[in-house]
Amino acid sequence: MKLEDRVAVITGAGRGVGAATALMLARDGARVVVNDLDASEAEATVAAIRDAGGEAMAVAGDVTGADFPDRLIQSALDGFGGIDILVNNAGYIWNGAMHNHSDEQWQAMLDVHATAPFRILRALAPWLRETAKAEIAGQGAARCRKVVNVSSVSGTTGAATQIAYSAGKAAVVGITKTLAKEWGRFNVTVNCVAFGHIDTRLTQAYDGEPPVIEVDGRQHRVGLTTEQIDAVQRTAALGRSGRPEDGAGAIYLFCIPESDYISGEVLTCSGG
């Protein structure tokens, strides 16, 4: 129970890596605030945590909404009294060759992958700063808190057909390294996990017509062909795609006390 008495806020936690992370942190004692665009998926993750004996609450909503960051942070503070771990995980893909990218497509990827985490962290800042200052004044040191931002190897090494997505995920790395320097004095570690191929609905295998997901009323093609996935698996040292639990495990490493002196780092979770 390494995370007992800790409160974790996780965006995009209704499915995939986010849901697996919520379950993993709850298993270790954290009370979890589950966000997802789809309220039913957020509630399903909350139900799974509660069924396993944990505590959780759902805050459904679009992370790109102008009023959402304040609502998310305040809901967590009202519901559980504090925030110790924040995982910026929400996102989706909207791929296409660079010459086919529209301004809308470019902005959508920056909004969800870079602007939304920035705004959520900015919304957290007032409570975090005042709380840490009070702890330092009263106890001599602030409680160690954790921020984990989710990036991608597309953001660290680039990826064809993902120029907007890659730009957004590269921005996450810059946000991470900068905030680690700013918030270190408040005893906050800020780290980043860059995922390779993790088997989720965004990267699901298909033959024929690609599957689609709906975001804000627009349908987006997702998934990879069987041939593409075979090629990815051949390049991975471990010879397979990652599971959501593999991705959650990488995030978990930055949430536990053993990583209290690690900050500003990018961990690649790609199977080698």
Does residue 261 surpass a pLDDT of 80? yes
* Rounded to 5°, angle at Cα 154 from 152 and 160: 155
Among 156-165, 174-183, 199-208, the least confident range: 199-208
Query: Catalytic amino acids?
Result: 165
Distance (Å, rounded) from C-alpha 142 to C-alpha 163?
A: 40
Distance (Å, rounded) from C-alpha 251 to C-alpha 257?
A: 13
Does residue 129 surpass a pLDDT of 70? yes
Judge whether 218 lies within some domain. no
| Whole-number Cα distances in Å, 116 to 7, 64, 108, 122, 172 | 20, 5, 11, 10, 10
Do β-strands 212-215 and 218-221 pair in parallel, antiparallel, or remain unpaired?
antiparallel
pLDDT of 159 reads: 87
pLDDT of 54 reads: 98
Judge whether 192 lies within some domain. yes
Joined tokens for residue 243: 């599971």
Does residue 224 surpass a pLDDT of 70? no
pLDDT of 155 reads: 95
pLDDT of 93 reads: 86
Confidence band for 230, pLDDT divided at 50, 70 and 90: confident
**Cβ count near 143 (within 10 Å):** 16
| Over residues 51-71, mean pLDDT | 98
Judge whether 183 lies within some domain. yes
Joined tokens for residue 28: 């270790």
Start-end of H helices in the chain: 16-27, 39-51, 68-80, 103-110, 116-139, 153-157, 163-183, 226-235, 244-253
| Those residues with Cβ within 8 angstroms of residue 104's Cβ, 6 or more apart along the chain or in another chain | none
Judge whether 41 lies within some domain. yes
Report the percentage of the chain scoring pLDDT > 90: 80
The domain that holds 91 is classified in CATH as 3.40.50.720
Confidence band for 217, pLDDT divided at 50, 70 and 90: confident
Judge whether 237 lies within some domain. no
Judge whether 219 lies within some domain. no
pLDDT of 222 reads: 73
Total domain count, the chain: 1
Domain span at residue 73 reads: 7-197+243-264
CA-wise closest residue to 198 among 241, 234, 240, 253: 241
Judge whether 1 lies within some domain. no
Distance (Å, rounded) from C-alpha 231 to C-alpha 218?
A: 30
| Those residues with Cβ within 8 angstroms of residue 270's Cβ, 6 or more apart along the chain or in another chain | 153, 194, 195, 196, 197, 236, 242
| Over residues 28-52, mean pLDDT | 98
C-alpha distance across the termini of the chain, in Å: 29
Judge whether 107 lies within some domain. yes
**Cβ count near 257 (within 10 Å):** 11
Report the percentage of the chain scoring pLDDT > 70: 97
Joined tokens for residue 7: 């409160």
